[in-house]
Amino acid sequence: MLFNQAEIDQRYGYRALKRLFDIVASLVGLVLLSPLFLVVAILIKIDDPVGSVFYSQTRLGLKQHKFKMYKFRSMCT
């Protein structure tokens, strides 16, 4: 299947617009949910004052690219 230049440009434009929307929506979500994240972090610290609030794990992404993922430590030890 062959594409002409207009279709290729339109596809790249769509991807750029989608990426911009993803970044803006993520930032808005983080700002709106940050009070909840703060409460969760405080509750975790109250439950276990010695341990860390976050858990980190190395995972494999696209093309086996390693990245570090962080999340709240939610299981009791």
pLDDT in tens, 11-61: 888 888 899 999 999 999 999 999 999 999 999 899 888 888 998 999 999
Report which secondary-structure segment, H or E, holds 64.
Answer: none
Residue 54 lies in a domain: yes
Phi and psi dihedrals of 55, rounded to 5? -115, 135
Q: Indicate yes or no: pTM above 0.75.
A: no
Cβ neighbors of 20 (< 8 A, separation 6 or more) are none
In a domain, 16, yes or no: yes
CB of 53 within 8 A of CB of 37?
A: no
Q: Which domain holds residue 32?
A: 5-72
**Count of domains forming the chain:** 1
Strand 54-60 and strand 66-72: the pairing is antiparallel
Report the candidate in 49, 46, 44 with the shortest Cα–Cα distance to residue 73: 44
